[in-house]
Amino acid sequence: MLPFFYAKQVYFSVKPYSEHILIVLIAGIGDLVLASQSIRSIRNGHPDAEIHLLTSSAAAPLAVNYGYVDRVWAFPIREFRKDKRYAADILMLVKALRKIRFQVIMNLYAVESFAGGLKMGLLFQLMRTTQKIGHDSHGFGRFLTEKVDGSAFRGRHVTKAMMDIAVKAGGIPDEKGIEVFWGGGTEAKWIDIFGRSEKAGGLVVGINPGGDRKNRRWSPDGYAAVADRLAEGVGARIVLLGGPSETAIAKTVESMMQNEPINLSGRLNLDDLTYVISRLDLLITNDSGPMHVAAALGVPLVAVFGPEDPARLGPYTDPRLFRIVSGFVPCSPCKKSTCDSLLCLDAVSPDEVLQKCESLMGEISCGARVRFSAPTEVGESAIERKAGV
């Protein structure tokens, strides 16, 4: 079980703070990356505040790498959905947060149901705070002192919608875009693999066949077909990605391939995953957290979309760095978390995905790759761009 508090410094700090701010983003890894621009804007607007971030236990290990957040709290939302005994951990978490007098508390994430609005409203009611900020949707507005319009998330990319809430809380936007970092010491763990890849020449292509929701996953045989054609056509070295719960999917893709990939599925923590993605020339992925990580790192990507709307949840990066492939069916897009029929994904063919890869690679050569290293100071990603970018 993850600890509900991730200490980035001694908790009872002697540093004086002008105010204490709680940012609530109980969502996934990709949502954290998309929110990074808004969270950074809060730091810009409140340079002397102690900024707390309440996020999911899945995203918390990555959140501690953001230098503009002082303290990260892990909310076991996915664990609670599977095992109600986690209610005791949630109560302990709320009790700990109530000991802090926050001047501002804001929810950056979209509230998409009346049940969600009630639950988030209850959390806000339990916090000791002066200002409560969020968007007025599904009854959540009645718990707020300041709110943005309930239409903020409709027909817009969620990154822009979250920024509306951050600005309402005194955030000052900048032009840096979204970003993501990995922890110290990560690069040394993978130097052998990627050193060999670069000496061998050719493209390094990542395949991410997994994802939290089954109805966002394109077929393993489709990924295998595209991977083989890239390996044979342009000599690409294929790297399979995936967390501990996605090893079976990656193994299925590997078993269907004629060319041997580097299978890293199940071997990567979030720091590792972020660094490995930064070393890729191209990522082919489902609509998932790794897609947003790649976008934040400036890594070219081709994303297969099923039920979700890429206009709202697509890669938030330079349009020249990504391509979207989605099946055009009457019921898409939709917000279903499960589906008996995957028509939208079944409508995507390997030929379409390969064509998007070739189109993207035609514009972005291997020599123009974007290199990233661990941040050297708050808000700086230490980018070294090679000639041509």
Read off the pLDDT of residues 68-122 as tens digits, 9 standing for 90 and up: 999 999 999 988 888 888 899 999 999 999 999 999 999 999 999 999 999 999 9
Measured CA to CA, the distance from residue 40 to residue 24 in angstroms comes to 14
Tell how far CA 276 is from the center of its chain: 15
The residues, ordered by sequence, that sit 6+ positions from 215 with a Cβ below 8 Å of its Cβ are 306, 307, 336, 337, 338, 339, 342, 345
Mean pLDDT, rounded, for 168-181: 96
Model confidence at 223: pLDDT above 90? yes
DSSP track, 115-163: HHHHHHHHHHHHS-EEEEEEE--TTGGGG-SEEE-TTTTTTS-HHHHHH
Q: Report the run of H or E that residue 172 belongs to, with start and end.
A: none
> Looking at 98-107, 160-169, 238-247, 338-347, which range is the least confident one?
338-347
Amino acid 95: pLDDT: 94
Mean pLDDT, rounded, for 133-156: 95
- Given a contact cutoff of 8 angstroms between Cβ atoms, the answer to whether 206 and 281 are in contact is no
Q: 104 - beta bridge partners?
A: 21, 131
Mean pLDDT, rounded, for 262-271: 95
State the pLDDT confidence band at 22, using cuts at 50, 70 and 90: very high
- Which two three-digit tokens encode residue 345? 């994904």
Measured CA to CA, the distance from residue 98 to residue 107 in angstroms comes to 16
Mean pLDDT, rounded, for 257-264: 96
Position of tokens 């998309």?
34
Amino acid 67: pLDDT: 94
Q: What rounded mean pLDDT belongs to the chain?
A: 86
Measured CA to CA, the distance from residue 314 to residue 47 in angstroms comes to 31
Measured CA to CA, the distance from residue 136 to residue 168 in angstroms comes to 13
Q: What share of the chain is helix, strand, coil (3-state, %, to 5)?
A: 40, 20, 40
- Given a contact cutoff of 8 angstroms between Cβ atoms, the answer to whether 93 and 126 are in contact is no
Q: Please choose, from the candidates 40, 44, 49, 56, the residue with its C-alpha nearest in 3D space to the C-alpha of residue 6.
A: 56
Task: Sketch out the chain's domains with CATH numbers.
Answer: 5-168 (3.40.50.2000), 186-385 (3.40.50.2000)
Structure confidence by residue, pLDDT tens digits, 28-78: 999 999 999 999 999 999 999 999 999 999 999 999 999 999 999 999 998
Return the CA Rg of the chain.
Answer: 21
Length of the chain: 389
Q: Is the pTM of this model over 0.85?
A: yes
Amino acid 32: pLDDT: 98
Q: Residues of 30-67 as b/e, b for ≥16 C-beta within 10 angstroms?
A: bbbbbbbbbbbbbbbbbeebbbbbbbbbbbbbbbbbbb
